Amino acid sequence: MIKMKLSVILSLIFLLGSVAYGDHQQHLFEQGNQAYQNKEYAGAVKYYEEILQTGYENADLYYNLGNSYYKIGRIAKAILNYERALRLRPDDEDIQFNLQIANLSVTDKIPRLPELFYVTYFNQFRSVFGLRVLTIITLSLYFLSLTFLIFWLLAKKRKLRLMFRAVSLSLLLLLVVFSFTFIAKIRYLQRNVDAVVMSPRVDVRSAPSEDGTEIFTIHEGLKVKITNTSSGWYEIRLPDGKEGWLQVKDVEVI
């Protein structure tokens, strides 16, 4: 299944002023969709990638590109684009499902380190919202809290004061929760750089050098966390906590 929403967004860009530019992007997207429907998956990849080269990105575009790569057997590229789509739209069930299917083809099945239950719950809650959505929610709660706080202070009747107080305190509580989540999301995005292994087989080394000891091997499609860089090398961490160095060319950052 492919998504068609990008044409609506690109139409808006067209109306706002980037007439020729937006029209070209929309034309490419439609050609990509048509190629996909005709089972010309390599052609669909070409059109979708050309849109990305213009600097435009969108969850639907990455999703369609991931589907196209999956159809031609390029699992690592499919996973990369599903992950990019998921970053832009974390709650999309289609993206989540297709990513799970693609991950079934990954050679390495690495268990995650156990977490405290409340850490797991918070991470799941944080991952539901994209940064843009969190920004909108937090700002909306701020202004609503301020508005009802003013109503509470200005209300003359006791019943109204009690009602406005209850609403304003509830909104303030939500504001605290979402402000904390918003800050945690920013810190997570700043400190956590994820990548997908692109090379069929990678020997991870103990140091950022070909002379480093080979400590373990990973394969294409595996998602890793980048923790450090050094002249053409990334230090990476696996879900089970193992760490080592690999060359930049072996992965693509999500």
pLDDT tens-digit series, residues 30-74: 999 999 999 999 999 999 999 999 999 999 999 999 999 999 999
Whole-angstrom distance, CA of residue 144 vs CA of residue 21: 39
CATH 2.30.30.40 assigned to 193-253: yes
Whole-angstrom distance, CA of residue 212 vs CA of residue 247: 12
DSSP track, 160-200:
HHHHHHHHHHHHHHHHHHHHHHHHHHHHHHHH-EEEEE-SS
Note the pLDDT of residue 125.
Answer: 85
- Locate all alpha helices (DSSP H) within the chain, ordered by sequence: 6-16, 19-37, 41-53, 59-71, 75-88, 93-103, 117-128, 131-154, 158-191
Least Cα distance to 131 among 217, 189, 199 occurs for 189
Give mean pLDDT in consecutive 10-residue pieces for the chain, a chain of 254 residues.
59 52 85 97 97 93 98 98 93 95 96 78 82 93 95 91 94 96 86 92 97 97 95 95 97 96
The domain ranges of the chain are 6-103, 117-191, 193-253
CATH superfamily placement of domain 6-103: Tetratricopeptide repeat domain (1.25.40.10)
